[in-house]
């Protein structure tokens, strides 16, 4: 009986060692693929295209919930129609389109990934409002 155990150990141990070695490369491949997908190397043109796509689709999505006929009203929406600003070091963007102001918070960099905002705030400027005036400042009483 001892011989059977010793013989089976001698036969099975090298087989399991060879099998484990073959699969060790799989973990390394997985890690390399994950790193490649999480950290894409993009050209400036690709980053610009991703950013423009994300901004236009975000505004289109937001306004499609607010406008009575979004297909007609947003049919010709282009990135050139938007004004954008990004505070340095954040994924927060301020966007202006016509009389709408948006604040978008993205979960990842919208220049690197095609994404949707995780948070959005929309303000509509009333017609005739001059933001340079002191419309809401309280008057001093003497």
Buried b (16+ CB within 10 A) or exposed e, 93-129: bebbbeebbbebebeeebbbeebebeebeeeeeeeee
pTM attached to this predicted model: 0.68
Tell me the per-residue pLDDT of 37-67, one tens digit each, with 9 for 90 and over.
888 888 999 999 999 999 999 999 999 998 8
Backbone angles phi, psi at 72, to 5 degrees: -75, -45
Of all helices (H) and strands (E), which one includes residue 47? helix 44-64
At residue 127, the pLDDT reads 86
Tell me the per-residue pLDDT of 109-136, one tens digit each, with 9 for 90 and over.
999 999 999 999 999 999 888 877 665 6
Please, which pLDDT band fits residue 16 given cuts at 50, 70 and 90? low
At residue 116, the pLDDT reads 96
Strand partners, 93: 104
Is 20 or 115 the better-scoring residue by pLDDT? 115
Handedness of CA 57, 61, 66, 72 (dihedral sign): positive
Confidence check: pLDDT of 19 > 80: no
Other C-beta atoms closer than 10 Å to the C-beta of 136 total 5
Enumerate the domain spans of the chain: 1-38, 44-124
CA distance 84 to 102: 9
The answer to which of 21-25, 104-108, 115-119, 138-142 has the lowest mean pLDDT is 138-142
Task: Report the greatest alpha carbon distance in the chain.
Answer: 109
Mean per-residue pLDDT, 26-32: 92
């Amino acid at each position: 009986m001892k011989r059977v155990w010793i013989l089976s150990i001698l036969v099975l141990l090298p087989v399991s060692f060879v099998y484990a070695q073959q699969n060790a490369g799989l973990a390394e491949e997985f890690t390399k693929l994950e790193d490649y997908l999480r950290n894409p190397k993009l050209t400036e043109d690709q980053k610009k295209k991703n950013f423009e796509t994300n901004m236009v689709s975000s505004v289109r999505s937001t306004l499609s919930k607010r406008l009575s006929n979004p297909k007609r009203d947003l049919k010709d929406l282009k990135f050139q129609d938007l004004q954008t600003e990004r505070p340095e070091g954040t994924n927060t963007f301020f966007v202006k389109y016509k009389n709408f102001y948006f604040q978008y918070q993205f979960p990842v960099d919208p220049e690197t990934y095609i994404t949707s905002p995780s948070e959005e705030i929309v303000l509509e400027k009333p017609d005739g409002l001059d933001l340079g005036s002191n419309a809401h400042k309280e008057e001093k009483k003497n």
